Chain A
Amino acid sequence: AQRVTQPEKLLSVFKGAPVELKCNYSYSGSPELFWYVQYSRQRLQLLLRHISRESIKGFTADLNKGETSFHLKKPFAQEEDSAMYYCALSGRKAAGNKLTFGGGTRVLVKP
């Protein structure tokens, strides 16, 4: 079974402060991890995925297989980063790979 846990439902930070969104996963095989973002009343969109190792909008995330984590970080939060963030896992071995989402973390960046 695959499971994704985001322990924080809400993160409130001031503009310019660092922000870290925690994500832990449970999966027996080799996972593929994603972060999706949903701005207010908009569709979900991919923020980044671990295999691309990119920095998108200043966000980075590192897959730590030892700790089974894929935390999302940004050194200086901006007001436009206020949104709902979802960590997601795709298992590679099962037929019909599905995305399993965490419960989401709402980020509020205050001016």
Chain B
Amino acid sequence: GESVGLHLPTLSVQEGDNSIINCAYSNSASDYFIWYKQESGKGPQFIIDIRSNMDKRQGQRVTVLLNKTVKHLSLQIAATQPGDSAVYFCAEKGPGGYNKLIFGAGTRLAVHP
């Protein structure tokens, strides 16, 4: 909702620039990662995912990079648009067990004209 973006790290970019949102994950054994986008007043929506046997995956205007050595995940958005303004969460899934995802705290992306 509207208050989700408060107290979060904020990345401010100009419309048309590329955005990079970073995430440090916690479990070196996690084998699957997802980026979600949450717009004001809505639930999180799936953007892109990546398995631990990959280090890069591309979608439409988005790219996810995975660096397992330093447990780091990034989301790159090309030609950022005003509609990209939202809170972005990374999530990780550990091996085995139930399909439980662990979410990061999120980053707010603000796109300025």
Do A and B bind?
Answer: no
- Residues of A whose CB lies within 8 Å of any CB of B are none
- Residues of B whose CB lies within 8 Å of any CB of A are none
